[in-house]
Chain A
Amino acid sequence: MSSNFSAIKQLEMIIRRYPLVPVDIRGVVLDYIGRTGEGMNIVLRMNNRIYDEIFVDSTPDSAKEFLRSVVQSKPDRDELSRACTAIFPNVSKLLGDIMIEEERQLEPVALSDEFFTDPSKLFRISCSSGPVADFGLTLREVQCTGA
């Protein structure tokens, strides 16, 4: 029986030997990153086939959803994007798309009529309705706060 079994080592071997090992590689990568905290670029360097499968051969939406689950904060995304620019360009491109989409999602919020009439609905904070000036913030500042 195995007292010295290492799940991380096995995950690493699976990643390196994929697709010879019949597994769901997205789950394996999520698992590996969850346990080790390694960056996505490190995983992709272990086996280029994974880059093809997740970021080239699958749909952009699916690839973006995968990226959202492995990197959340803006600094982490920036760092990953920089690390991938040269060798894994699709990762950088998709991360750029994610950031643009998230910024776009904010634009209509800042400009809609509802923002002026009932900001609490949009920002999910409790406040009395009133002119935006009551917040004491400029439009740009409000947008950043919402983000």
Chain B
Amino acid sequence: MACLGSGTANASGWSDLLLEAGITSVATTNIRQISISVDPPPEHLDNFFAHIFDRLKLDLERREPDAMHTRFILLNLTPLNLCTTLIDKIITGILFSNAANPIPADCHLIFLLRNIDHLLKSNAFGSARASGAFGISVSTVDFRGYAATVVSGTPDPVVSFGRRAFATILPTEPHKVHRSLVFETNTHLGHFMLPNSHVRTHYDLTEFIARDNVWEFILGILSEIVGDHFPILVVGTGLEESAIRTMAEQFQSAVAERIVTEFHYLPDPSTVLAALSNWSERFNIALVLGDIVNSGTTLHGVVSLLKQSNFHARPIRVFAVARMQNSPRSIEDVPLTVAVGIPRDYYSAKASECLLCELAQPAVAVNSARDFTRIDEAQLTPFDFWEIVPDSSALRQGATDPQQRHFLFRVDTEKLVKRYGRWLENVIRYKAQQLWPNIRPDLLCTVREESGIAFAHLVSKALSCSYIVSIPRTSLRRVTPASKPMSELTELAHHHEKRLLLVDDGINYGHTLRTLITACRVANATIMGAIVLDCRLNQHGVGTLCHLMGSTPLLSLYTWPSATGAL
């Protein structure tokens, strides 16, 4: 079997999927995952899929057909944001673009989608079926657990199947789900004052649970804690209303055929809901959904409410997406089940007992999930910076930089960008808006080195400026105020009327930025300022660079001047 474009999936799960969906009755043993790309991309999307399938056919032709077995080709389209128009283009590209060289007849083509209706209701697909253009077996499977094998001239026999295979295909191991939250989800660092606690971090849970592997993991947990009890009352509570509603809706959708559920969202436990007053008469179990548990006070209120009206001794289950390491393990004697444990403490809401208050870390009072995204003008504070540095293992001692200069201590900005890029992106966006209100750079200019380019990409995303000019160090070394623009710099010369933002990952002595300024001046570019991640110059050194840039600002996310000049 060949599976296209899903390199991170667990290969053995594909065989389980075909078995569970009833597409084959025999386990597939020889599974290859192929990633095919078309370079350069064709002008039209129709041609793109035709090219993809040409490559796939070449691959199939190189391998001897096995007379005893069907060759399954599973086309994973789930990463695409599909609509029927796009499906039409894909079908046209696959089935109609190269009629003289069709897919070999011993193949069985399977489309993996989020919803099989996208394919079954596609015009191009309908035409292909009516004209008998397939020539091969075609099936479609979706993430909800529905499948159909299409036979010309007959209605689509849609079947539903279990989710075991998806749990195998997707990376649902707990450590991978933990990594998804802590390393790959948009994170905010600050000092967030919640009604019952203070916290240092916030994770975008809506983004987190939208991941297939995360949802599959959560669904597995929810199914297990609910067991065979139904009908189910689902009660959500917490600040992350959007994430909680999504979770509840997806859970309802996943169990809809087998179990009756009803969902209610309680902004806080003081909300009076008539539906909860006699819940134990109508439901056999109550499932409480929460976002991130700190002190557990919010969940405590809801569980307490449910317990008070539990006249038939129904079981109550409590699930939260995450909890802190010092959060309670149970709520009102009901065990708390979570998807992820966050390796941090929450702090008391009393200022005298909160470390963040003690450190005078700028605070934000949180009344809605949106407040978590607020950034203080003082950030990055020393606590922000010196906390993310060890967390990213970024402080290097006795190391050399890309220019082979020896430093007693330097910060590896690449590591910071890799680990905290999502948050730094938020900070850059906020700071740039403060410094250059309503102005966006037209292009970014940096030195062509990995660390510089990594930071430039981050700035590019934060400021929605996709044009990056990178200049090789060798060219920068040659440039002088009297030079003519060199070949590498002619690109800059074409943009002299545009606003250019210089980007450097870190300033130690300021040499790189000086040469970038000179290069831009030689190319007659209009510099709107510069942005760096960390700067070791003192105020005088920064002032000199600003002066060289025509009195435009230098935005440094963090400045820690050297005491001695010995870096």
Q: Which residues of A are in contact with B by a Cβ distance under 8 Å?
A: 1-3, 5-7, 9-11, 13-14, 17, 20-24, 26-28, 30-31, 33-35, 37, 62, 65-66, 68-72
Q: Which residues of B contact A13 (CB under 8 A)?
A: 358-360
0/1 interface trace, chain B 399-418, chain A, CB 8 Å (1 if under): 00000000011010000000
Does B398 lie at the interface of the complex (its beta carbon under 8 Å from any beta carbon of A)? yes
B543, chain A: closest CB distance, angstroms: 16
Whether the Cβ atoms of B561 and A65 lie closer than 8 Å is no
* CB atoms of B377 and A35 under 8 A apart: no
Contacts A10-B382, A69-B564, A69-B567 given; does A23 touch B390 at CB 8 Å: yes
- Residues in B neighbouring A22, C-beta threshold 8 A: 387, 390-391
A24 contacts B566, CB within 8 Å? no
8 Å CB contact of A6 from B358, B360, B383, B567: B360
Q: Within 8 Å CB of A11, what residues of B?
A: 382
Q: Please give 5 more A-B residue pairs, beta carbons under 8 A apart, in addition to A14-B386, A24-B390.
A: A10-B383, A14-B359, A26-B409, A27-B390, A33-B563
Neighbouring A residues of B536 by C-beta, 8 Å: 34
B residues lining the A interface (CB < 8 Å): 355, 358-362, 376-378, 381-383, 385-387, 389-391, 395, 397-398, 408-409, 411, 536, 560-567
Report yes or no: B362 in contact with A1, Cβ–Cβ below 8 A: yes
Q: How far, in angstroms, from A54 to B359 measured CA to CA in the complex?
A: 22
Q: Is the CB of B390 within 8 A of A5?
A: no
B362:A27 contact, CB within 8 angstroms: no
Whether A5 and B378, one on each chain, are in contact in the complex, defined by CB atoms closer than 8 angstroms, is yes
**Quick one: closest A residue to B387, CB to CB?**
A23
How far, in angstroms, from A26 to B358 measured CA to CA in the complex? 21
- Whole-angstrom distance between the Cβ of A106 and the nearest chain B Cβ: 19
A-B contact pairs, 17 of them (CB 8 A): A1-B377, A3-B377, A7-B378, A9-B360, A10-B361, A13-B358, A22-B390, A27-B386, A30-B562, A34-B536, A34-B561, A37-B563, A65-B398, A65-B409, A66-B397, A68-B408, A69-B564
A13 to B567, CA, bound (A): 25
Query: Which of B386, B561, B562 has a CB less than 8 Å from the CB of A28?
Result: B386
| Known A1-B362, A22-B387, A70-B563: A28·B397 in contact at CB below 8 Å | no
Per CB-CB distance, the 10 closest pairs between chain A and chain B, nearest first, are: A2-B362, A5-B378, A23-B386, A24-B390, A69-B408, A31-B560, A72-B564, A34-B563, A34-B561, A33-B563
How many CB-defined contacts (below 8 Å) exist between A and B? 105
CA distance A71 to B169 in the complex (A): 57
Report B-chain residues with C-beta under 8 Å of the C-beta of A62: 397
Contacts of A9 in B (CB 8 A): 360
Contact B389 A27 (CB under 8 A): yes
Inside 8 A of B565's CB, which chain A residues have their CB? 72
B389 touches A5 (CB 8 A): no
> Which residues of chain A are within 8 angstroms of B362 by Cβ–Cβ distance?
1-2, 5
Is the pair B563, A28 in contact by a Cβ cutoff of 8 Å? no
Q: Are A68 and B566 also in contact (CB < 8 A) when A17-B359, A24-B395, A31-B560 are?
A: yes
Given contacts A24-B389, A28-B386, A5 and B381 within 8 Å (CB-CB):
yes
Is B566 a contact of A21 with CB atoms below 8 Å? no
Inter-chain contacts of B566 with A (CB < 8 A)? 68-69, 72
Closest to B380 in A: A7
Q: What's the Cα separation between A72 and B358 when bound, in Å?
A: 34
A28 to B560, CA, bound (A): 9
A residues near B358, Cβ cutoff 8 Å = 13, 17
Q: What separation, in Å, do the CA atoms of A110 and B408 have in the docked complex?
A: 27
- From the candidates A10, A27, A69, name the one contacting B359 in the complex (CB within 8 A): A10
Minimum distance in angstroms from B563 CB to a CB of chain A: 4
CA distance A26 to B391 in the complex (A): 14
Q: Return chain A residues, CB-CB under 8 Å to B378.
A: 2, 5, 7
A23, A26, A68, A71, most chain B CB atoms within 10 A:
A23
